[in-house]
Amino acid sequence: MNWWEYLKEHDVPNWLAIIFTLIVWPLALIIWNKRYIRGIRNLQILIDSSRGTIPTGESCPYLIFRIKNNTGERIYITDLSLVLSRQIRAHPNADRDISTGGYTLKFAEKAGDPFFRFYITIDTQQEAITGFPLRVDYDDQALRTLIMELRNYRRNGIIARYFILQFDCMVGKKHHKVKFKF
């Protein structure tokens, strides 16, 4: 008996198709949809510090992120989150997402407004502002030192030293999942 006839007789080609359909293809789709890029060309993220009040009325220091669009296209950003390392201490009332272990960040409509928008559209040469509340025990000197370290940090490593800023982004008609490591 020929080996091909044996395989056909025992229905092996159909079993291979079923295995491919139920195991290989879903795994390929999961891996494809979880990929991230490290950055977008000409999209700048500037870090600064400020003092502000959280919705409970407490005053605390903030890490301010200014996202500046120099790409030449309109950008739509959503699902902005921050995953912290142990070197940065978050305010106890910061908006934490327990499913990802990160903190959800919201955008301000313009400078001075409260952070309440989950998404934003940024035109060319415009910027968006978001902030993250830190623990009250950061004094001005410690906050300035942290900002200088963040500005001088080179993001070449695999492991983030301070935090990971991640978001979904549409640049023109292209969709990207972005992870900035600091």
Give the domain ranges of the chain.
3-33, 43-181
Q: For residues 111 and 22, which has the higher predicted lDDT (pLDDT)? A: 22
Helix (H, G, I), strand (E, B) or coil at 150: helix
Spatial contact of 180 and 157, defined as CB atoms under 8 Å apart:
no
Dist. CA 179–CA 36, nearest whole Å:
6
Q: Is the pLDDT of residue 158 over 60?
A: no
Please report the pLDDT score of residue 1 as a whole number.
Answer: 59
Provide the pLDDT for residue 107. 92
Task: Supply the pLDDT for residue 3.
Answer: 74
Q: What is the pLDDT of residue 168?
A: 92
Q: Residues of the chain with pLDDT > 90: what percent?
A: 25
Q: 156 pLDDT exceeds 70?
A: no
Task: Name the CATH topology of 43-181.
Answer: Immunoglobulin-like (2.60.40)
- CA 146 to mean position of chain CA atoms: 20
pTM above 0.95, yes or no: no
